[in-house]
Amino acid sequence: MNGIAIRTATAADAAAIEKLIGQLGYSATQGEVQSRLSAIEAAGQEVLVATFASEVIACLSTSTMIVPHRPAPVGRISMMVVDERWRGKGVGAEMAAAAERLLAGKGCQIVEVTSNLRRTDAHRFWERLGY
């Protein structure tokens, strides 16, 4: 998509991420988001944001894990939310592709997605991407 940039989230993105989390039906204060971003970074994990004209319009969290039954780390996308105004415009697919590249760069050969059972629209989205 033209004009969309994807990058690692920073503490300065906390207010925008707070609003996006609210669109998922969860609550987290700006301070809580900042604290969690710091903990995620300290753990060697990443949160990505998509921006358009410097406005944060989506966010996605990633993690990696070592499991005994796989020869390489497994990557996980555990949260993704695209601002309601931007849904259906390809932002989610761009975010997923960026996460896959990031996780592959960390040695992951498999990427899995977690999604609440009630998020049937999200399930259809992920299934269209091959998950």
Count CA within 13 A, CB hemisphere, residue 92: 21
Domain span at 92 = 4-128
CA distance 49 to 5: 8
Q: Taking 80 as the threshold, does the pLDDT of residue 71 lie above it?
A: yes
Mean pLDDT of 2-29: 95
Mean pLDDT of 73-89: 95
* Residues in Cβ contact with 67 at an 8 Å cutoff, skipping those fewer than 6 apart: 74
pTM of the model: 0.92
- CATH number, domain of 26, equals 3.40.630.30
- Tell me the pLDDT of the chain averaged across its residues: 95
Number of domains comprising the chain: 1
pLDDT for the residue numbered 117: 83
pLDDT-derived band at 1, boundaries 50, 70, 90: low
pLDDT for the residue numbered 105: 97
Q: What does the block give as tokens for 26?
A: 């969860």
